[in-house]
Amino acid sequence: PYTLTDFYFGYGGIVDVFRKDAQQWFRKVYREQIKNGVSGWWTDLGEPEKHPSDLYHNLKDFGFKRLFKADEIHNIFGHYWNKMLYEHYQQEHPDTSLNRSGYAGSPRYSIFPWTGDVSRSWNGLKAQLPILLGMSVSGIPYIHSDAGGFAMTDKKDPELYTRWLQLSAFSPVFRPHGTALEADLQPSGTLSVESEPVFWPDSTKAIVKNLIQLRYDLTPYNYTLA
């Protein structure tokens, strides 16, 4: 009943994950992809990113008779999306979910969150330590960041990339990831920076290759610890 008109992918809508009938519909969509071989999900934008204040949700299945504004349930939307997936997979499939959003108690739903679309900057890297540690002691140990940073920048910084991968080599999930848009899609003044080590200069590749090898050497230890 609500159409988003200013989403950067174009027009869109939001599935009301609090409604059982909406969940059943959503499960059919997942089931079709599972038949195609999909075994895990990336529940990106689970905040949701665009959640206008004049959008209402129906929590009738929780016993509420009034509608709830997006602002009232925004923080638990991603949590209930994770819950829906977890319960669906419990019944039918093995489950892995990489999520961007959650709430207190979300670890019970077998999620592997990351720290969001963080800035490709030294301040962005600096912020990862308290976030990773804080999330870990809050019961979400499988936390990680976009290694190398995500958001667009005006320069390509080999040392920043190297230092970030040094940190990420010891995080529970190792995942270089970031924006690398075509030139005609780039906002003015920004630079497309590749996430994959193979596209960096040989001097950077040589260091990063050793980090990746170390990561794989530690896999038996990490697997046993987990």
* Options 6, 16, 21, 47, the catalytic residue: 47
Task: Write the Ramachandran bin of 132: left for phi over 0, alpha for psi from -120 to 50, otherwise beta.
Answer: alpha
117 is catalytic: yes
* Options 44, 95, 157, 194, the catalytic residue: 44
Q: Which has the closest alpha carbon to 77: 1, 16, 27, 140?
A: 16
Q: Which has the closest alpha carbon to 51: 70, 68, 76?
A: 70
* Options 32, 92, 95, 117, the catalytic residue: 117
Name residue 69's beta-bridge partners.
56
Record the tokens describing residue 58, joined without a space: 């129906």
44 is catalytic: yes
16 is catalytic: no
Q: Which has the closest alpha carbon to 123: 99, 157, 92?
A: 157
Strands 97-99 and 41-43: parallel
Residues forming the active site: 44, 47, 117
